[in-house]
Amino acid sequence: MLKRVLFSLICTGGLFFLAQAQVVQPSISKTKESDFAFEVKTIDEFIERFNNDQYTLIRQYLETKFPKKKLTRNDLIRTLFNYEEPLWNKNIAAEFVRTICDTSDEKFLDFYSDSWYAQAECLVKYKGVSKIVTITLQVVISDRTGAAKWVICGARAPFLDFSKKVDPKKFLNPISHATDFIGLKNAMEDKMFVRNYLTEGFKESHLNKYLAALASGDMVFQQINSISYHFLNLSNWLFTVKNYNRPGRNSGWLIQTLSKRTDLEKEEYKKSVLFCD
């Protein structure tokens, strides 16, 4: 029932408020111009609207068309949620908006923070066969120049997993140094039991395997299928943003999921979801 009412409000020109069923501007007629103004067209526009930037397109549009309506930051943030198929709890969302907009301790997104990530699902050809690889990127600031750039910080390519077989009879003899490690050649050719010759603390890195496959020519990058953004830089909160390419006002880059997370839980999220070891 909530979804139907909410969807109806959006389609008829209103903006649904999370904790209070009211409309920002009920007299706004549905036009291509208004749809364009409400759509969150880029992730930069998402951040600007979240941070209550005075020059966002939606603010300029409403102040020009409806000058008597004073748009608050709460209003703007509530336009950033996906309402058609919400994967977030409305009570948690209302608490999130209240926390973010608390004037005694307002919270903002920083583009130059290293605690938000882009995750790209990519199509590749591995030995001639189409495969999916997930690549995670983050913004870093150069120590030398102070310039910002996106860098790859993680990857997931399940089809490149190393063998997990172990044979206790296979190892490098403790006196291998006396023979100038002559057995090392056989160890490096023993692909099925390669783990036998590695330290117990060895950690597989999907990013290393991905880069090795690119360098060898076994893998060829094809295209990016989709992108999502993961924001971990607000204390006690974690949310993801996805592009909803559809007609209407509730479209573009919108909040897909929202949850409360401790710092420890965020670190685990980086490993399990973002693949950043």
- Following CA atoms 240, 245, 251, 253 in sequence, which dihedral angle do they give, to the nearest 10 degrees? 30
Q: Which residue has the tokens 């501007």?
A: 25
Q: Which residue has the higher pLDDT, 205 or 40?
A: 40
Chain segment 19-46, per-residue pLDDT in tens: 333 334 334 567 788 888 889 999 999 9
Cα separation values, 141 from 43, 145, 150, 155, 243, Å: 19, 8, 9, 21, 26
Chain segment 143-196, per-residue pLDDT in tens: 778 888 999 999 998 888 755 566 778 878 888 878 887 888 888 787 777 777
Q: Which of 80-84, 118-122, 159-163 has the lowest mean pLDDT?
A: 159-163
pTM to 2 decimals?
0.80
pLDDT at 74: 92
> Domain residue spans in the chain?
2-107+235-254, 116-161+204-227, 163-203
Q: 135 pLDDT band (50/70/90 cuts)?
A: very high
